[in-house]
């Protein structure tokens, strides 16, 4: 968890959240994503294709010959793998990632209405952590991202980003994944919004998890000074 042992919530009312439009908004201080073939081999080494029900040979075939300029490599996503199984693969500080104890229903968080999530391997173009939206509420951030022509990331996509680029999580620079919400049995949405951050090793996390990547949640209308809102320009299926 960044900086402090407990998430810090800001009561200050920020100015209206704004996001620069277009592709020229890389998250500051992050290196370029690895090429797709490197990302694919990383996922294969972790056993992700098996979790997603995809043959490793198919993953290699999908990315074979697909190239991008070094500064424009997209993020590879293999849909179908449950979050609960993916989370421990987010190794950070030599420790496996984990889901907070009070989120046993993590796999019930599904894409929000209106999103077109490909059912085959796909790439996310222009992924960004949304640092400039820190201290905005999820509702405000969704409005800002929509106005900028961007799409928020799902929890699964956020984990794939951390698998490909562990540096996406940094102290005081972590992110929410507001494209995933849990629907209640009687209708409406669960008040929790999933997020990815760094454990401080306190409370129920346990000291042994200090520095590990963590899947947690925040109330949907709260603001946090250390959580941005991950987004991308678009999702593009890889047809092979």
| Residue 25: predicted pLDDT | 46
**For residues 23 and 112, what is the distance between their CA atoms, to the nearest angstrom?**
23
Cα three-residue angle 88-213-69, rounded to 5 degrees? 95
Q: How many CB atoms are located within 10 Å of the residue 188 CB?
A: 9
Average model confidence (pLDDT) across the chain: 89
The dihedrals phi and psi of 32, each to the nearest 5 degrees, come to -65, 150
Which whole-number Å values give the CA distances from 3 to 7, 61, 86, 150, 218, in the listed order? 9, 42, 25, 29, 17
Residues recorded for the chain: 240
Measured distance CA(216)–CA(128) in Å, rounded: 19
pLDDT at 69: 83
Question: Tokens 């070094």 identify what position?
Answer: 70
pLDDT of res. 26: 46
The pLDDT assigned to 30 comes to 85
What would the two tokens of residue 48 be? 């992700």
* Cα distance between residue 118 and residue 56, in whole Å: 18
pLDDT of residue 240: 63
Print pLDDT tens along the chain (240 aa).
333 333 444 444 444 555 544 434 445 578 899 999 999 999 999 999 999 999 999 999 999 988 888 778 999 999 999 999 999 999 999 999 999 999 999 999 999 999 989 999 999 999 999 999 999 999 999 999 999 999 999 999 999 999 999 999 999 999 999 999 999 998 899 999 999 999 999 999 999 999 999 999 999 989 999 999 999 999 999 976
Residue 58: per-residue pLDDT: 95
pLDDT at position 43 is 98
Confidence (pLDDT) at 149: 95
Residue 6 is predicted with a pLDDT of 39
pLDDT tens, position by position, 49-85 = 999 999 999 999 999 988 888 778 999 999 999 999 9
Cβ neighbour number for residue 130 with a 10 Å cutoff: 27
SS3 readout for 101-135: CCCCCHHHEEECCCCCCCCCCEEEECCECCHHHCC
């Amino acid at each position: 968890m960044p900086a402090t042992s407990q998430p810090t919530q800001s009561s200050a009312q920020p100015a209206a959240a704004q996001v620069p439009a277009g592709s020229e908004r890389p998250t500051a201080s992050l290196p370029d994503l690895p090429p797709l073939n490197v990302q694919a081999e990383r996922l294969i080494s972790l056993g992700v294709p098996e979790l997603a029900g995809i043959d490793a040979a198919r993953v290699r075939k999908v990315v074979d010959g697909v190239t991008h300029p070094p500064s424009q490599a997209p993020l590879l996503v293999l849909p179908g793998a449950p979050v609960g199984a993916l989370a421990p693969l987010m190794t950070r500080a030599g420790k496996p990632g984990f889901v907070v104890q009070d989120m046993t229903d993590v796999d019930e968080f599904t894409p929000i209405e209106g999103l077109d999530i490909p059912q085959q391997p796909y790439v996310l173009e222009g992924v960004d952590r949304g640092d400039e939206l820190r201290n905005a509420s999820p509702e405000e951030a969704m409005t800002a991202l929509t106005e900028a022509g961007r799409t928020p990331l799902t929890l699964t996509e956020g984990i794939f980003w951390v698998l490909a680029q562990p540096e996406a999580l940094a102290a005081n620079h972590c992110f929410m994944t507001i494209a995933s919400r849990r629907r209640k049995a009687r209708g409406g949405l669960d008040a929790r919004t999933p997020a990815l951050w760094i454990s401080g090793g306190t409370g129920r996390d346990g000291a042994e998890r200090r520095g590990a990547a963590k899947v947690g949640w925040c109330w949907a209308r709260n603001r946090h000074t250390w959580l941005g809102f991950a987004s991308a320009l678009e999702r593009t299926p890889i047809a092979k």
